[in-house]
Structure formats: structure tokens, C-alpha cells
Structure 1
Amino acid sequence: MASSRDRQRKLARAKLDRQLARRAARTRRRRQIQAGVGAAVVLVLIVAGSAWALGAFDSDPKQDTAAEDVCLWTPQDATANTNLKDVGTPATKGLPTSGTRALTVTTNQGAPITAELDLASAPCAGASIAHLASKGFYDNTKCHEITSEGALRCGDPSGTGLGGPTYSFYDENVPVAPEASPSASPAPDEPPAYPKGTVAMIANPPGANGSQFLIFFKDFDPDKPAYPVIGKVTGGLDVVTKIGALPTVDNGSGAKVKPKTDVVIQSLTVGEPSTAPAPAPSGASASPSAG
């Protein structure tokens, strides 16, 4: 009799354990469903919030997602200035704005002159020179002036100082002159605005840059810097210095600034953008000031 009751108790206990197990399983499933629904709601809210922040619900999404212009090119009238040469214009969007581009100038005066164009400080100058180089714009042209500031002036196919492409662009990275203070003496280690080896744009009129550039073969530190710095010489600075020492003759305007010996750019090439930082000018003690 006792064994029969024991068997009934065991059966009842087993039945209760099964009921409790099923109840616990249902509870776990309900909690999992609730957790899944909650996570889905949170995900929807996050996606919706991100889309709202990015302007997905704006009335004109195309306007917000369109690529921004990096550079603007101002058309120049070739009929008013016959020294201009039309080779099209560079792109305005998708231009590199960091890193450097290698510039190589091969002349009839010796080893090639190499430089790095600073795309972070002067992206439009870099884009313009790369575009012109790809069109052979600089090839077989003369560097028409040795300036009184100590620079070789090149990049004008007409050799007049008035030539260039049929577009212009604004100044970038013009060094800032230090503020004069009557009570403070100038710092003896202050670098010049244009150290030897600096590559800069030069425009006529100022601010309407085209194709002409300067390569400084000595330090130049004006009271009011005006030339946009676009890069630094990395090799061949001795060639630039040698050219700077050439005798000059009248360029036709009464100014003895034209090299007596023709300085011909046989080719000018620009490499692909690089993320490497721009090196200091070869032979220079300091880099140009930031504009």
C-alpha cells in the first residue's frame, strides 16, 4: 500500500515538474519576443534619427548630397588678351585637398628641378598646374624673368608676363606679415616669408592666378607678402641658383630682367597625389609661413 502511494506521489511530482518546465519555457519565449521587439524599435529609431540628421527627410535631398566645388575657375577673354592660350579648365569637384604632388621641371640648364606641390594649403594651384601640365602647356616655353626679389619666373608661353590659360583662380596660402610692434624687437630666428626653394604663384593682375610661377633661389622677406606659396623645391636647387646668377638683358620694356641665355622648360610634369607630408625646401633653413 505504501509503495502505491509513493508511486502516486512520484507521478504527481513529475507532472508538476513538467508543468513548471513548460511554464518557464513560455516565460523565456515571451521575454525573448519582448526583447526582440524592443531592439527592433530602438534600431528603427536610430536609423530614422540618423537619416533625419543627414537630411533624408529634407525637401530637396539632391542639393544636400551633391559634391561641393573645391575650386572655381574664372573665365578670361582671349580676344581681349591674345597672350592667353585655351586648353580648357580643370575639374571643380573631387579635387585632392591633402597631401602633395610631385612637380618635375626639366630645363636646358642641367639636372631636373623637382618640387612638392602642397595640396592642403593650395589645392587649386595644384589642380591647375596638373591640368596644364597634362595638356603640355609648359613644354618648350621660356622662363622669361629673373626677378629682383631673387626668383626665377616661368610659366608664360608668350614670354611677355601677360600670358596664361583662359581662366584664373584666387590667391591661396599668401604668407601673413608679422605685426609690427614699436616696443618689441624682431625675433632673430623668424623665418622669411619666402625661404630659398619656395615655389609660389605670380599673377598679373595680382589675385588672378593662371599659369605663371616663381622659384626662389634666395630668401625673400617683404613687408607685405603677395605671392601665394604653393610648394617647395626638393631637388635641383643648385640649378635654380645657377640660373639666378645668369646675366640679364632688356626684355623690351626697358627692364633688364630677361636672362641673356634662354632658359627653356623642355618639359613639366606633375605626379599623382600622395599622402606624404611636404618636405622642407632643399637648402632652406625653414619652411614658408602658412597663409
Structure 2
Amino acid sequence: MVVLAACGGPAKPAAGSASPTSVENAVPAPAPPQELKIPTQLAAPLVRPKPFPATVSCVYPPDEPSVKPLSPPPGAGVSARGTVPVSLTTSVGQLDLVLDRALAPCTVNSFVSLAKQGFFNDTSCHRLTTSRSLQVLQCGDPTGTGSGGPGYKFADETYPELRYGRGQVAMANAGPNTNGSQFFMIYGSASGLSPDYTVFGTISPVSLPLLDRVAKDGVGDPAGESDGTPRTKVTITASKVG
């Protein structure tokens, strides 16, 4: 199961959710939604069990055409050492990220390339989840539908021991090795996820309260649900690397 399609059409909700059951007879009105409980403890720092070499080669084969003009990132001699700060200016405030090349060098290489080319500018974060087992805000699709991407895809950089939690940034996908431009920021629990989503960085603790406020305002469409478009619109207006 996936968080959302990075390309090739939106996917269904991830672990911890179920498809609605059609019924002909009237059913009792649902109980009022419970107050969202967001864990405050940050996820433990991640370390790959087997480190990458100092440099790696990355492959970014073509995929569905991008809705924005851009060039794929270079794939030769990509560093797997050090971190890269990225700031996303949004309609709810500045989100500061720290990308970790040691965790996912090809993912960081792609994200930095997209940010430098302005791919994320004027895009909305189209999906918010507020269930107990999946609390994320998903962004990175210029179409705002969950089906857009950068015109290329690339391989997962996951490992079986991978665990998710508050403060991580990870890639959305539509199945194995279908990463593109869509990513999600984990503001709370993500215990419902299997280790199939590449974590490539963290969110500054200073920025997390901004996501908390968006989450507590809930899903706007469909209203009252735990998975959909956030009621508080989040638009990335600019991105800065370094």
C-alpha cells in the first residue's frame, strides 16, 4: 500500500484505512470527530545499516511528461556524504528541512535539483492525513491532484529496518521504484507505514508547529474525513537550497 501516487494516477489511502462500504439503508450519523492527538516526540535519527560509498551513480529514467519544464538531475558522481539545508517558503510560514545524503543520495540529488529549478514554486500540498497511524502532509505535485511528477522516476533508497516518525521527510510513490517529485512530511505518527518509502531528511523542530496547526484544522475536502485536501491551504511559493 502506498501513501499517494508520485505519478501515474492517485493511489488509495495507506495502511490503517479502509474503503467505505456501500449500503442501501440509512446508517447512524457518525460520531463527532475526536480531537487530533499528535505525538510530540521526534523520531530517532536514522542510520543506514550498510552505508553508501562516498559517491554513487543515480539513474533517472523518463516517466510521464512533466507539467513544468525542467532538466533531470545529473546522475554521475553523486555525493553520499553530508547534509543540505532547504527552506520552503509557504503560505503558512517557512518550513526548514535538512536533507541527509547518507540516507538517500539519489533522492537528495533529485530534490535539490527540483528546488533549484523552481519546480516546487507555486504548488500546493494536496493531501493531509490525520488518522492515528498516519499523520502526514503531502506536497510536490504541480497539478495538485496526486498524479503529477517531474517527468522522470528513480529507485527507492529504503531498507527493512526503516521506521517512521515525527519530523521526517519521505518520498511518496506509486509502487516500487516510482519516486518522482511528491514527498510527505510526517508531523506525527506514521506507524501504519511499511518500510517502502524513502526517508531523505528531517523537518526543523521550529517548523513542526506550523504543520501541527494545519493538521489540527483538519481535512477540508471531504469534510470531516481523515484523508483529503487540508482545510488550511498550504502553498509552496519559493524554495531555497543552502
TM-score with structure 1 length normalisation?
Answer: 0.58
* Secondary structure at the counterpart of residue 241 of structure 1: helix
2:211 corresponds to: 240
**Which residue identity lines up with residue 269 of structure 1 in the other structure?**
K
Q: Show CA shifts across 1:144-191 (max 9, x none).
A: 0102410000000000111010100010134526xxxxxxxxxxxxxx
On the 8 A contact 1:175/1:229 being kept in 2, the answer is no
* Secondary structure at the counterpart of residue 165 of structure 1: coil
Question: Which of 182, 187, 195 is equivalent to 2:165?
Answer: 195
**Which residue identity lines up with residue 159 of structure 1 in the other structure?**
G
Question: Which of 74, 79, 99 is equivalent to 2:61?
Answer: 74
* Secondary structure at the counterpart of residue 78 of structure 2: coil
**C-alpha distance in structure 2 between counterparts of 1:223 and 1:211, whole Å:** 19
Q: Show CA shifts across 1:11-37 (max 9, x none).
A: xxxxxxxxxxxxxxxxxxxxxxxxxxx
On the 8 A contact 2:58/2:106 being kept in 1, the answer is yes
Q: 1:201 to 1:114 in 2, by over 3 A?
A: same
On the 8 A contact 1:161/1:204 being kept in 2, the answer is no
Q: 1:88 to 1:219 in 2, by over 3 A?
A: same
Q: 1:86 to 1:264 in 2, by over 3 A?
A: same
Question: Which of 140, 164, 172 is equivalent to 2:122?
Answer: 140
Question: Which of 136, 140, 144 is equivalent to 1:159?
Answer: 144
TM-score with structure 2 length normalisation?
Answer: 0.69
TM superposition shift of 1:130? 0.8
TM superposition shift of 1:223? 6.3
- What do you get for the CA RMSD once the two structures are aligned? 2.3
On the 8 A contact 2:128/2:227 being kept in 1, the answer is no
Q: Where in structure 1 are there 5+ consecutive unaligned residues?
A: 1-67, 178-192, 272-291
**C-alpha distance in structure 2 between counterparts of 1:152 and 1:255, whole Å:** 12
Alignment of 1:1-291 (within 5 A): 70-78=57-65, 84-110=67-93, 112-147=94-129, 148=131, 149-174=134-159, 176=161, 193-222=163-192, 224-234=194-204, 235-250=206-221, 257-271=228-242
Question: Where has structure 1 moved over 4 Å in runs of 4 or more?
Answer: none
Q: 1:175 to 1:105 in 2, by over 3 A?
A: farther
Which structure has the larger Rg over C-alpha atoms?
A: 1
Q: Show CA shifts across 1:34-71 (max 9, x none).
A: xxxxxxxxxxxxxxxxxxxxxxxxxxxxxxxxxx8610
Q: 1:69 to 1:220 in 2, by over 3 A?
A: closer
